[in-house]
Every structure is written in C-alpha cells, then in structure tokens.
Structure 1
C-alpha cells in the first residue's frame, strides 16, 4: 500500500466516528494549547500557538524541517516544561513537567526515533510491560509467568502474535518496524486520551502501515484523540479530520476536509526569500552526462525511474519525507545499493556495492544525518575531514599528520569554518560549521559527482549561502552536483534544474524559468 492509497475506512466520511456526534461536540477538547510559546537561547521556536484537539478526531500536523513540530510534541509529552502559555487537558489547566506527568493525564507519544522508546538489554516482554513495572516499583525478575501473560495482553492490542520465544528475546534483536509496533502497543494498552504519532509509518512496511491505519480508525471510533505528524500527504488526506500547518513556530493554517493541498503547501513552505546564491533562470543545461540511471526503482513496489546528472549542472531534487530522496542518495553512494536497474558513470558501468566503491570512482555523498553518518565526536576537525582519504595521506600505514592538518586548514579557509583551529574537537563547532566540515570533506578531492542530501538542514542563512555557492562553483568547474531537499526554496536558490520526486517517482523535471515555484508546489500537491 502506498502513502497515497486510502487507508481502510478512511476518507471524507471517516469523521462520523464516536467522537464527532452531538455528544462529542458538547465535550471539552481532549487537549488544548493556548498561546503556547517557547524559545531556546533567546531564539523563538514556537510563538503563540493555540490549538484544540477534540476526542475522537485525527488532527494532522504538517510543517517543514525546523517549523517547530518537535518542540510542540515535546511540550505535550512533558519533555519541555519551560514554555509560555497554557495546556489544558479535558478543559482543565494541566502541568506537564515530565513524561510521567503527561502519561498520568493520558497523553502518550510514539516518537519518530524508535531508539528512545525501547531499552536494549531487556526482553521484548519486559519492554512491553516496562512502564507498568517502573510505575509499580515491582521487581521485573519476579513471576516470569505473570510478566509473559501481561506482555501477551499488551501485544494483543495490535494483534502482534509474538511467540514466547520472541517475547523472551532481547528487544535489540527486533527490527526497527517491530520495535515501533511494540511502542505503539504499549501506548495503546493504557487507552490514552491523546495519542501523538510522530512519522509513524517511516519504519513500517506497507502491510504494517495498513494495520496502523486500521488502528487509527479504531481509536477514532473509541473517542481517542490523535495528533498525527507526517510529511506523507496521502496518509494525511486519507486519515485526518483536520490539517494544521506550522511554519517558523507559528500556526499558519487550520484546514477542514476536503483539504486544499495547494493552500496547505503554500502555508508550509512560505513565500520565496531573496536568493542566497546566484541561480540561473535561463534554462541553461550542463554538458555531457556524468551519471545516468536507467530502470531504477527508488521505493519498493514503485515504477522504475530514469535520471541523468550532467557535468556543469546543479540538479535539485525536491521531495517530502518518504519521497525516495534518501534512497536515491544512498543508492548512488553504494550505502544501500540499488537491487535492479542500470547505472553508468562517464559511459562505463557503475554498480557501487559499498561507499568505498563510490569514492574510488569519484562519487561523494554529504549524508542527511551528519551526526549519525558523517561526524565522529572526539576527533578533530582535520581528522574528520581526512577520514575518507586516509590512504592517500598515509605512508607505510601511518597517517602523515602534517598533510592532514594542511587539508584541514584549506577546508577551514575555503568554506569559512568558524573554529579555533584544525585541531579543535568537531563537537565544539556550531551546527552550521559542522555541516561545512562535512561538505568540505567531500570537496577535498574534487568529485566527479557530489550528492548533497539535505545539506542546509539546521544551518543558518550564512552557512546556507556558503554551501550553496560552493556547490555552484563545483558545478562550474565541471562536476555534476545533486542537491536533495524537502524545502522548495532551498532547491530553487541553488539548482539549474529542478526535479520533483513523490512516492518514489519523478513528477516534474524542468530547467530555469520552467521550474517556477508555483509549478514545483503544484507538482508536489498533485501527488496527493
């Protein structure tokens, strides 16, 4: 089942559940926000957000990266207590100083980062009943028979059907999707007042997502309020009664069904800002094809795609979460090799099975998650930069530290990295300067193809401009550059050519003036 397929029982008539009749209309909202604001280091993250979530309703929350969604979720979850404004639960003012306090009031959250919800080292059964054990102060090693019995009751909430053998395993042995289902079953076992689902299908298969959609429908009928956070527009269109949009910490739209997706996306993506880089608008194309893909499926069950990346050209790929951007980036780099299709690099077969294969052929990747996939805390700036190229900096197996330091200094100077010197620990740098280090690493040896996956995430406008200018300069020097982002304006600032990717398929491929902002947004919204 694809994100754009309707969920079972969902759609415009789905509002007619138990929570939408006259009785529900007379009841107070399950949870309300009143003028809620929050700032970090003096920088506003949320500003005067007011929102009601009714019992038995599914409210979808949409917003670009950095819009404030995570902060809002953490306020409701009891993680961020130092906010302004008020939270009301069942119409009564409520304090949420901790996750335990939120749980006690019936607010449960299934976070996007699954690792935050399970405890490796404990069994699957112990994880299923973990909160009950902690709340009651019981010894988890007493009465294994009762522990397993309660774990079965909780897993039956989702019909998981795990055997005793699986329940006894270390939870770390479960796959990510099963861990997510475990967390969801644990949350539902308490019959919450409000369930917050943060990108709940990001780690689920199509069959598991179908099961989740049916569960959301059941919760709606049971009068449970759901805050559904997702970039997958088809899911929102199928499941939600209302759609609210956050942008720059403010609530910019609150839409009923049927959703006006063009209006929603404009509210999410804002109006174009002054370009940070000199993007050409004359439709200029690059030169020879550097890298080509033929018949490559980007997502399971989707049509194979063709794409050419040309030297002297910046190709920008726009797509929301789940569109297939990261799969494209990691496939080109050999981190998650494509299973079918044909690739050529400068006319020669190209089939990277690991990143080392790509690096040898001059294909470099700036990954989406710099903390998890690109930087090593405790290492210096210079050492982080030199990591992929140690063989060229080594003699008889020993790294020549002088050359490594020189490489670090060149990168610092070339990208304007703000740091004490090349020996500074990389974790001491700001987020924008850490991103410059990651970008600079892959410019150390001029690539044939540079792939940048969400290169501007979490960086300020200055760092964004510097990175964009380096991407354009690299293309001008003959490389092919691919920039992937969920932010339309980020791509429009830097790209010669704009490709819209939705649900693993190319929906627009245009140059210059043909890639106007309105047309790009329409291509995204048309995928719903």
Structure 2
C-alpha cells in the first residue's frame, strides 16, 4: 500500500535563471513530497529543462532557494546533487551509463567512481554487488552484456537501480517513455509505483498525457518560466493543456478554419485489425492532419498500411479519385506516397562507410531511377539538391557531402524530410517526426512541413499532443485502432483527448 504523502522532499522557491537576454525561469516555485509522483507539464521553452538542470546541479540559479529534506542550500555540481540525494534519468539514454562497460559495471558505476571507493575490486565482488543492486528493482539482465547493446528501457532501469542503491530521496525522470514500447512503459510504471510506495519523491516530465494519467498523483504546469497551474488527481487534462499553451485544444487545432480544398486521399470503412471499430478518413490538398493517441493505439499501423508495408483488415483507400492499394513502398513512392518512419536510422539513413551516405546521397537515394533513367549518376545534381535542402531547412552542415553521422538528430531528420520534398508528392506520412529533435530544429521542421504543401496532403502520427497542436490544421484521436474527430458525435476534441490519453491501450500493438 502506498505511503501517505508526508514531508516535502524537495522544493524550489522563486527560482530565476537567464541566459543572456533570454529569461528561462522567472520565479518558479515547486515542491514534491516523499511518496509522491508529480508530473511537470509545459510546452517547449516553458522552462522545464532549465529547472531540471538546476535540480541536477548542472546550472546554478540566479536567484531563489532550493530545499532538500528540510535543508536549504546549493547544488554546485551534478556530483553534489547526487550526494544530496537527487538522481536524474535523462531522455537521452546513452547518458544513463558508460559504453564499453558491462551491465554489472554500470550498476556499480556510482560506487566505483566515489573518491572513497575501493581501488582493488574483483570480478566476483562486482557481480555479487551488481546482483544486489539489480534485485532492488527486480532487474533481470545478463550482467556481462555491454551497455551499448542494451535497449533504451534497459538503460533507464540501470540508472534507476543505481539511484535506489544510492538511497536517493528524489528521482527526476525526463520523458522516460519517449522510446519505450507499451510493455516497457508498463514495466517502468510498476517500478515507479514501488518506489513511490517506498517513500521516494518523483518528478516526472512528459508530454504524454496517457503516461501522466497512469502514474501521476498531481500535475503542475509551467509556462513562461513560472508554474501557472496545479491539478490534483483525477487530473483535468484539457484544463492542464489549456494552461500549458494558453488556449483550448479546439482553438489551437482548428482556429475556426475548415478546409474545402479537393480531397487527395480518403479511406472508407477502414479496420486496421479485425474487431476494431471501422472509421473513415479524408485528407485534403494543402492540409496537415495529426493523429494523436497513446502508444499501441494504432497510429503507426495506419501509416504503414497507407504506405504499403501492411494491409488493412477492411476498407477502401482512394488516391486522387482512383482506388488505391499499394503493393509495397516502391509502388507508393512511384505514385507520390512518401513515408518518414519513426526510426530514421533503420528506415532512412545509411551507415557512413556506405557509398551515398552523404546528405546529397541520402536525399537522392529513392529518386535515382527517376532522376537518372540511363543509370548514369550525376553527382553535381545530387549536390545541388543537397545544397538547396541545407539552405531551405537550415541544416547545420559544412556541405552536401557531409555524412549523416556528423549531424545532430534534428539535422538528420531535416535531411530525411528534404528527401521527400525533393520530388512531387501527393501524400506525405510522418511517424513521430519530432522524436529526438531539439526545440529549434522542431520549429524548422514544422515550418518546412507547413511551407511546402504544393497541393499534397500530410498525415502525422504523434504521441505528443503539444506537437500535434503546433503543426496540424486538424487533430484526430486514435484509440484501440479506431479514429475519432471533433464534431463526429463522439464529443469535442477536448473530451476525446481527455478520455483517450488517460487510458492505456487494451489489446493491440501500435
């Protein structure tokens, strides 16, 4: 049984922080009690990351106080924050451990790096202590595995196990489910509940409303560097989102405009899987439509079916007024149906040692037959297209011959988008296009998506409601492989997001 929420484990009062002329925090106040999970919500740029970095000892505040377990002081460095009992698990899981070390060695990383740590240790003692630490959260991993070979969920659990072993009183989780499957997320939630029951204070940062409904005791909302709203459980998510963005979902998503442009693509009586409720979908010329919903709701399956990677259980797909059934990606690409998959490295990028792995080659790859029907490639044309993409999308690179491993995640994604903007498009499918992308790159991507429609339609799948609000003309909600739209008899968009995002998916995989 969870412990009753008791003493305040950590609090910040009047925290201010500026970076040059930019004011990131403008008097933020926040408290998390022992045995409590507090969700921290906020749009990009609201100040969440800066607040986390201050609590983690990476940044020092310009003003304000930090109180930890009743003692007010400063956190001069990440090591000082750890020593004080604050553990942070960052979104980038490669920071959760050290590549080249085994699972056992990573579990002991904090202990081995202490100045007072033992200099002479045996492999046997490391394995024995690692098993003790793993047992704290029922972590069952081969101890000899290299950290680099672990999945994101496994890396996170190693960091959490270390925090528990160090007797941390405060755990900060920054977008912990962004790269996890539904099963992995549920396992993480079970561990969080155990830690909460043991009295740990947990600050949980996420855009995913379904996560927050599943795990949070209450939510606080940041905007403009301040806390602007607090919501007890059951959390009123439409109100929380309105506080986060300064307007309601309907106002943000529709702005009073309904497209009357020609229909580019439509689906009638679609069932993604047997037993799911059928739905219809229309996508119009120049329109950006976003589908949001929890992990496992069916968003990715729908995009894959439209691209020809999967088949609909039922339904008719029409493209430009003609019945359409793709036999695979090659036929889709030939007919102007393009897709950017969720994992860009597996689906869109080439290893740097492979010929054509440059920016120019990556953009040109699916268009080679069309551009060079004689089979003679012209590097000058590829470089010209690559240079134009660098300029148009603000790709930070030395030139079109740079390989993709030299670019940040956001710039890699810009290259992938540029690939499909380099040829005539009728339907562009984007699966989690902003995953692993920083704020600046995301703004550039949104501008590129919205600025080059050329009569095509764009369908975006995202688990992030905020992303949907930023990019889309129209937002749809998917639950258990069925699609809903405001005004279709299923309640307003606000009601749908409140219901859909607050429920975990039932029986299907995404």
Bin of the TM-score, shorter chain as denominator length: 0.7 to 0.9
1:507 is matched with which residue? 484
2:26 is matched with which residue? 47
| Closer, same or farther: CA 267–367 of 1 in aligned 2, 3 Å | farther
Q: Distance in 2 between matches of 1:173 and 1:382?
A: 30
1:470 to 452, 455, 462: 452
TM superposition score normalised by structure 2: 0.77
| Closer, same or farther: CA 197–87 of 1 in aligned 2, 3 Å | same
Q: Distance in 1 between matches of 2:444 and 2:177?
A: 34
| Closer, same or farther: CA 216–109 of 1 in aligned 2, 3 Å | same
Offset at 1:376? 8.8
| Closer, same or farther: CA 48–372 of 1 in aligned 2, 3 Å | farther
Offset at 1:388? 3.9
Aligned length: 485
2:457 to 445, 464, 480: 480
| Closer, same or farther: CA 398–102 of 1 in aligned 2, 3 Å | farther
CA contact (8 A) 1:269 1:487 kept: no
- Report whether the alignment pairs 1:254 with 2:230: yes
Q: Distance in 1 between matches of 2:28 and 2:327?
A: 49
2:440 to 458, 476, 479: 458
Q: Distance in 1 between matches of 2:280 and 2:56?
A: 43
Offset at 1:147? 1.0
Q: Distance in 1 between matches of 2:180 and 2:417?
A: 31
1:271 is matched with which residue? 247
1:145 to 121, 124, 138: 124
- Measured against aligned partners, the alpha-carbon deviations of 1:8-41 in whole angstroms (never above 9, x if no partner) come to x6xxxx6xx2443xxx3xxxx2111122233445
- Measured against aligned partners, the alpha-carbon deviations of 1:295-315 in whole angstroms (never above 9, x if no partner) come to 225xxx994764535452525
Offset at 1:103? 0.9
What runs of 5+ residues in structure 1 fail to find an aligned partner?
1-8
Offset at 1:80? 3.0
CA contact (8 A) 1:296 1:306 kept: no
- Measured against aligned partners, the alpha-carbon deviations of 1:71-117 in whole angstroms (never above 9, x if no partner) come to 32222222334654332222333332332111100001222322221
- Report whether the alignment pairs 1:133 with 2:112: yes
Offset at 1:332? 5.4
- Report whether the alignment pairs 1:183 with 2:168: no
Q: Secondary structure of the residue that 2:304 maps to in structure 1? A: helix
- Report whether the alignment pairs 1:32 with 2:11: yes
2:93 is matched with which residue? 114
1:364 is matched with which residue? 338
Q: Distance in 1 between matches of 2:343 and 2:27?
A: 30
Q: Distance in 2 between matches of 1:220 and 1:208?
A: 18
1:91 is matched with which residue? 70
2:304 is matched with which residue? 331
What runs of 5+ residues in structure 2 fail to find an aligned partner?
503-510
Offset at 1:203? 4.8
| Closer, same or farther: CA 315–104 of 1 in aligned 2, 3 Å | same
Q: Distance in 2 between matches of 1:323 and 1:180?
A: 21
Q: Secondary structure of the residue that 2:75 maps to in structure 1? A: coil
Q: CA RMSD in A?
A: 4.5
1:229 is matched with which residue? 205
Q: Distance in 1 between matches of 2:92 and 2:397?
A: 33
| Closer, same or farther: CA 195–491 of 1 in aligned 2, 3 Å | closer
Q: Secondary structure of the residue that 2:262 maps to in structure 1? A: coil
- Report whether the alignment pairs 1:498 with 2:475: yes
2:144 is matched with which residue? 168
Q: Distance in 2 between matches of 1:60 and 1:302?
A: 35
Offset at 1:333? 8.0
Bigger drift between 418-427 and 96-105 goes to 418-427
Bigger drift between 108-117 and 371-380 goes to 371-380
Q: Distance in 2 between matches of 1:252 and 1:66?
A: 14
CA contact (8 A) 2:291 2:476 kept: yes
Q: Secondary structure of the residue that 1:96 maps to in structure 2? A: coil
1:80 is matched with which residue? 59
